[in-house]
Amino acid sequence: MAEKILIIEDEPFLRRIVSDQLKENGYLVEEALDGEEGLKKIQERKFDLILLDLLLPGMDGFEVLDRLKKEGMLSKIPVLILSNLGQKEEVEKGLALGAKDYLIKAHVTPEEIVAKIKEILKK
């Protein structure tokens, strides 16, 4: 069965590119435009991985991670941060909150994002 990925990203162009790339690689993809919608979907359905932006309207990605960590079963879902926030402190905070890895949007291609997701899901 295909693995299910939730993309929480408010930027439509990037969301579409990454979503299309994941679908081409056989993943089932759902999208959320902000942290609140993302958390709601996570609580309603099972995902194999969450691709999370940090700069989101309303509830930011750090808060989403923090809430996931406190939710027992949901805390086991691997989270890959994809953000333009690239300062050492932000990366460390994201990883400390439980993200499996941290990619900086400006430094990766959609293909590299898919490769990282494959790597995380194999573990």
Q: What is the pLDDT of residues 38-97, one digit of tens each?
A: 999 999 999 999 999 999 999 999 999 999 988 887 788 999 999 999 899 999 999 999
What domain range is 28 assigned to?
4-122
Judge whether 80 and 117 are in contact, CB under 8 Å. yes
pLDDT by residue (tens digit) across 8-49?
A: 999 999 999 999 999 999 999 999 999 999 999 999 999 999
Output the CA–CA distances (angstroms, integers) from residue 39 to 21, 89, 108, in the order listed: 23, 24, 25
Q: What total number of domains does the chain contain?
A: 1
| Cα distance between residue 26 and residue 54, in whole Å | 26
As beta bridge partners, residue 32 has: 8
pLDDT at 62: 96
98: alpha, beta or left? (left if phi > 0; alpha if psi -120 to 50): left
Q: Check which CATH number belongs to the domain holding 24 and give it.
A: 3.40.50.2300
Helices (H) and strands (E) in the chain, counts: 5, 5
pTM of the entire structure?
0.95
Residues composing the chain: 123
Does position 123 have pLDDT exceeding 80, yes or no? no
